[in-house]
């Protein structure tokens, strides 16, 4: 310490003790002569165990021999540098578990010979973050592919099928019903209509399930927009009450999932031309109602979609009723759950 420095030896010692990275001082033989408390924490050894230990024992067994040779190379050309640049370095704790780390080396010349100061940093959290970022990039790439496929199906394939269907229908108007080819062409038109409905259902399934936003209203509108492309028209959406006051993610997730199920059922089975969606919230309950003017209940087989909606409502202490939308047909889903605990 220089004369007049405001830092005492004790302050410098405390600085090493609270340093966020590990500090290891090693002699030319690879023996540890000093460690700070962070090294004890990282490697699960006490100070009295670490001092006098070979630094090689803090590395996995399969790299210890290689590390001995690298220490000798460093002693011949000592300089400040990162250890194992470009390599995935790992440390070995007393328990035998391993963890990723970074090591920076600096030579320290003393009257008794050269020492090596190693700064050790656990990069487990950074590595986890990098892996999570990589997974996010992969998900985004998949989202782009799925969205592109959905656009291509809607903008190209469906439009071509429409054109073929219209051509066949035009030809049918010029044919007598008794002609041999009439029934075959009518069957082809029906098959095209069925194929278009199936493709629209696939488009809805291709849309990636987006994470919840900060607003239930925005979540509902996002799912409705996804369904519009598959349905071929925009559903009508109305809100009543303080919809955006819901703060429980569990409830919001179930509402969004139920809405997806209901709209998916309409897309697959209803052959509807209108869908009306109503979401009402009051201090005591949430009521999601989805109505369509499609073929009605006779085309619903009570499959997993309807069962899932009922189970979600039941898990939250509510109910789900599937009824006819009107005497003329169609289907109505009333999904109701209590909000007493949410309101309180």
Q: What's the pLDDT at 344?
A: 38
**For residue 43, pLDDT beyond 80:** yes
The pair of structure tokens assigned to 136 is 């996010």
Nearest to 30 by CA among 94, 61, 75: 75
Percentage of residues of the chain with pLDDT beyond 70: 81
> For residues 193 and 232, what is the distance between their CA atoms, to the nearest angstrom?
13
In contact, 165 and 189? CB cutoff 8 Å: yes
In contact, 266 and 272? CB cutoff 8 Å: yes
Structure-model confidence comparison of residues 273 and 74, the more confident one: 273
**For residue 109, pLDDT beyond 70:** yes
Averaged pLDDT, 269-288: 90
**For residue 342, pLDDT beyond 60:** no
What's the mean pLDDT when you consider all of the chain? 81
What b-and-e string marks burial along 113-137, b requiring 16 or more CB atoms within 10 Å of the CB? eebbebbbbbeeeeeeeeeeeeeee
CATH of the domain spanning 213-344, picked from 3.30.70.20, 3.40.350.10, 3.30.565.10, 3.10.180.10: 3.30.565.10
Mean pLDDT is highest, among 22-26, 127-131, 168-172, for 22-26
The DSSP secondary-structure symbol of 205 reads H
The pair of structure tokens assigned to 273 is 């031309």
Rounded to 5 degrees, what are φ and ψ at 336? -130, 130
The pair of structure tokens assigned to 195 is 């194929």
Of the ranges 21-25, 43-47, 75-79, 233-237, which one carries the lowest mean pLDDT score?
A: 75-79
Contacts of 141 (CB under 8 A, 6+ apart): none
Averaged pLDDT, 245-251: 76
User: CB atoms < 10 A from the CB of 210, how many?
Assistant: 12
Q: How far is CA 171 from CA 45, 181, 186, in A?
A: 87, 11, 10
Span 172-220, pLDDT tens digits: 777 777 777 777 787 887 777 777 666 766 666 665 555 555 688 888 8
Strands (E) across the chain are located at 22-26, 32-35, 81-82, 90-92, 98-110, 113-122, 236-240, 275-281, 285-292, 319-326, 329-338
Span 90-100, pLDDT tens digits: 899 999 999 99
Structure-model confidence comparison of residues 12 and 299, the more confident one: 12
Give the pLDDT band of residue 139 (cuts 50, 70, 90).
low
Of the ranges 38-42, 60-64, 238-242, which one carries the lowest mean pLDDT score?
A: 60-64
In contact, 24 and 55? CB cutoff 8 Å: yes
Contacts of 197 (CB under 8 A, 6+ apart): 267, 268, 271
Structure-model confidence comparison of residues 173 and 259, the more confident one: 259
Averaged pLDDT, 43-50: 92
In the chain, count H helices and then E strands.
11, 11
Of the ranges 37-51, 145-159, 187-201, 320-334, which one carries the lowest mean pLDDT score?
A: 145-159
> For residues 116 and 112, what is the distance between their CA atoms, to the nearest angstrom?
13
- Are 9-122 and 213-344 the same fold in CATH? no
**For residue 305, pLDDT beyond 60:** yes
**For residue 291, pLDDT beyond 60:** yes
In contact, 263 and 256? CB cutoff 8 Å: no
Separation of CA 336 from chain center: 28
CATH of the domain spanning 9-122, picked from 3.30.1950.10, 3.30.450.20, 3.50.50.60, 3.30.1330.10: 3.30.450.20
Nearest to 123 by CA among 103, 96, 97, 137: 103
Q: What's the pLDDT at 61?
A: 86
Query: What 3-state DSSP class applies to 176?
Result: coil
**For residue 249, pLDDT beyond 60:** yes
**For residue 245, pLDDT beyond 70:** yes
The pair of structure tokens assigned to 171 is 């030809």
Averaged pLDDT, 161-165: 72
Domain ranges of the chain: 9-122, 125-208, 213-344
């Amino acid at each position: 310490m220089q004369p007049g420095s405001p830092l005492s030896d004790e302050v410098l010692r405390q600085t090493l003790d609270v340093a966020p990275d590990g500090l290891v001082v090693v002699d030319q033989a690879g023996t540890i002569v000093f460690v700070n408390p962070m090294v004890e924490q990282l490697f699960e050894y006490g100070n009295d165990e670490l001092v006098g230990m070979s630094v090689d024992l803090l590395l996995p067994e399969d790299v210890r021999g290689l590390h001995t040779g690298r220490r000798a190379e460093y002693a011949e050309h000592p300089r400040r540098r990162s250890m194992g640049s470009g390599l995935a370095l790992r440390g070995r704790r007393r328990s035998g578990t391993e963890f990723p780390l970074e090591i920076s080396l600096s030579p320290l010349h003393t009257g008794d010979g050269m020492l090596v100061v190693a700064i050790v940093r656990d990069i487990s959290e950074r590595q986890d973050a990098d892996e999570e970022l990589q997974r996010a990039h992969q998900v985004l790439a998949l989202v782009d592919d799925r969205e592109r496929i959905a656009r291509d199906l809607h903008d190209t394939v469906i439009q071509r099928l429409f054109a073929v269907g219209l051509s066949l229908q035009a030809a049918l108007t010029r044919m007598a019903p008794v002609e041999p080819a009439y029934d075959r062409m009518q069957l082809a038109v029906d098959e095209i209509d069925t194929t278009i409905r199936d493709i629209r259902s696939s488009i809805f399934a291709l849309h990636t399930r987006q994470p919840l936003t900060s607003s239930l209203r925005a979540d509902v509108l996002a799912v409705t927009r996804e369904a519009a492309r598959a349905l071929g028209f925009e559903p009508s959406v109305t809100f009543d009450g303080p919809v955006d006051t819901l703060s429980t993610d569990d409830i919001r997730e179930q509402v969004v999932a139920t809405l997806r199920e209901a709209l998916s059922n309409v897309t697959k089975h209803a052959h509807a031309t209108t869908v009306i969606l109503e979401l009402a919230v009051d201090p005591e309950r949430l009521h999601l109602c989805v109505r369509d003017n499609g073929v009605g209940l006779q085309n619903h087989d009570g499959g997993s979609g309807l069962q899932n909606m009922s189970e979600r409502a039941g898990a939250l202490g509510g109910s789900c009723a599937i009824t006819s939308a009107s005497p003329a047909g169609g289907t109505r889903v009333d999904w109701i759950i209590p909000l007493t605990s949410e309101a309180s």
